Amino acid sequence: MDKSLITEKSWVCEGEVLKKSFVFESQTQLALFLLEITKVADKMQHHPDCDIRKCSQLHISLTTHDAQKLTTLDWTLAKRIEECFKNYSA
């Protein structure tokens, strides 16, 4: 578990789910970011649950459904998502 994701990157651990919300300047930015993390998730064969709100807010939840808990796959994907977000944050 990488606690820096929680302390420095605003991820929240709720039970066996790792969550974070992202805000974008436009719906286009959100869509491009989502496409980027989808490609990463496909390569990892581990996919986040995503919820889009108000066209510029993206809520991401990570858990390993088969294991019914957080695993290293979730923490690794969260790190990769953060790496992708660097291209979209101010």
In a structure prediction context, what are the per-residue pLDDT tens digits for the chain, which is 90 residues long?
Answer: 666 777 777 899 999 999 999 999 999 999 999 999 999 999 999 999 999 999 999 999 999 999 989 999 999 999 999 999 998 875
**pLDDT for residue 6:** 73
| Distance (Å) of CA 6 to CA 2, 3, 29, 75 | 8, 5, 24, 10
* Structural domain spans, the chain: 4-85
Q: For residues 5 and 82, is the Cβ–Cβ distance under 8 A?
A: yes
CATH number given to 4-85? 3.30.1360.20
Q: Can you give the three-state secondary structure of 15-44, one letter per residue?
A: CCEEEEEEECCCHHHHHHHHHHHHHHHHHH
Instruction: Report the SS3 class of residue 53.
Output: strand
* Model-wide pTM > 0.75: yes
**pLDDT for residue 3:** 67
